[in-house]
Each structure stands twice: as C-alpha cells, then as structure tokens.
Chain A
Amino acid sequence: ETGVTQSPTHLIKTRGQQVTLRCSSQSGHNTVSWYQQALGQGPQFIFQYYREEENGRGNFPPRFSGLQFPNYSSELNVNALELDDSALYLCASSAGLGGTYEQYFGPGTRLTVT
C-alpha cells in the first residue's frame, strides 16, 4: 500500500452537478498528478500540481479544475458533470518533478454520473 489516500471512495452524482474529490499525498511528496480511468481503459492524465502551482494539463476541458494546498494535499473539481465523466479518478504523488521520481497511486474515487 502506498501512503496516498483519496476520498470519497465512491460517489454518485447527477448530470449537471459539481463534484470535489480529495487526495492526500504520501509524506515528503510535493507533486500530485490526477488521472481519469474509464472502465477498461488506461489512466488518462488530467493535470499535475507541483508546490501548489499547476504544472501541466492534459486534454481535458476547463470544467476540470484543481488545487494543491500548502501541505501538498490536492483537490480535483469537476463542474457541469456529464455522463462520460463516470470513471475512476486516481491521484498519484511523487517526491518531485525530476525524471528519477516515481509516481505512487492512491486507490481512486469511483464517480458515477446518472
């Protein structure tokens, strides 16, 4: 088990609603990345935060937004939920941006949009 925790474990929302997912990074890690994993597919990169600043973004619309706090925990916010947003949302933390730093994943939050 990694030291990365996510909450909640499961969530059911209605189309058009907003949702906030939370991630606590492993101790000593200052970088958090968020990924979306649709059923039967590999994780897709949403964005990354390094020392409270967004450090890159994947091909996701602006209604996906995030935040990183001084303790390096992070939030993922999704506005105007769509049915296709139903997925497992994963966060991964690492000790830095350098090429030698491994990313360790949390257990994920399963979001269902009805």
Chain B
Amino acid sequence: QQQVKQSPQSLIVQKGGISIINCAYENTAFDYFPWYQQFPGKGPALLIAIRPDVSEKKEGRFTISFNKSAKQFSLHIMDSQPGDSATYFCAARRSSGSARQLTFGSGTQLTVLP
C-alpha cells in the first residue's frame, strides 16, 4: 500500500522559473515530512523538512507548504537553476513507535533548462 503519493513524475522548467512538486499522505500518524534530493549515482540528501505544527517552512530558494487537513504537502523551488536538475523525493515518518522509518514517494525527476 502506497502511503505517500507524489506528483508529477517528471517536471521541466526554464531557468529562473518555479518548480512545484506535490505529495499526499494517508497515515495520520506521520508527523515529520522531509524532502530529499538525489543526483544520479548518489544517495538521497536531505533538503528541507517540516513538522505539522507549521504550515510553511522556507530555507533559501526552497519552501515546503503543508496542509494538515488535506494531508498534503508540497515543495516549491524558486528561481530554479540547472544545478537543481535531480530527482526529488518527499517522505513521511512517525516520531514514535518501533521503527521510525521513512516512507518515500515515488519521486519527481526535475529538469531545469538553461
């Protein structure tokens, strides 16, 4: 059962544009929502994360928007650059319980055209 649904599967934006990736989750026990960036041949790298007590978190050009009632969260990349071209994964995790593993979305391949 896929507990975190991510869209779109691929995204192409022009340099300087805004990239938006959306995720929806099912398990209301999730209380930590990170985004990871993965380049080919590399492991995922933590980009930014949010907890459900806030609706938005911004770090540089990256912003997470969180809608607890809709069980949705999204990543906005402002002023997208060719170096941002990578695969982005949203994830979710419980902070309590036995194994606090990350449940990942299926990924979005972002291409930023120069």
Binding site for B on A (CB under 8 A): 2, 4, 33, 35, 40-45, 47-48, 55-58, 90, 92, 97-100, 102-108
Contact = CB atoms under 8 A, between A and B. Distances in A.
Given A99-B96, A106-B43, A108-B43, A33 B31 contact: no
A57 B99 contact: yes
Interface stretch (B13-21, B55-63, B68-76, B102-110): B102-110
A105 B89 CA distance: 13
A57 B102 CA distance: 12
A76 to B, nearest CB: 14
A56 B99 CA distance: 5
Given A102-B34, A107-B41, A42 B95 contact: no
A103 B44 CA distance: 10
Contact of B105 (A4, A42, A103): A42
A42 B89 contact: yes
Given A55-B98, A99-B96, A45 B103 contact: yes
Query: In the complex, which of the residues A55, A103, A106, A107 has the most CB atoms of chain B within 10 Å of its own CB atom?
Result: A103
Contact of B104 (A4, A43, A57, A108): A43
A33 B101 CA distance: 7
Main secondary structure of the interface of B (DSSP, over half): loop
Given A43-B44, A106-B43, A107-B43, A58 B101 contact: yes
A93 B113 CA distance: 34
Contacts of B44: 43, 90, 105
A40 B101 CA distance: 20
A102 B96 CA distance: 14
Contact of B46 (A33, A35, A104): A104
B106 A42 contact: yes
Contacts of B107: 40-42
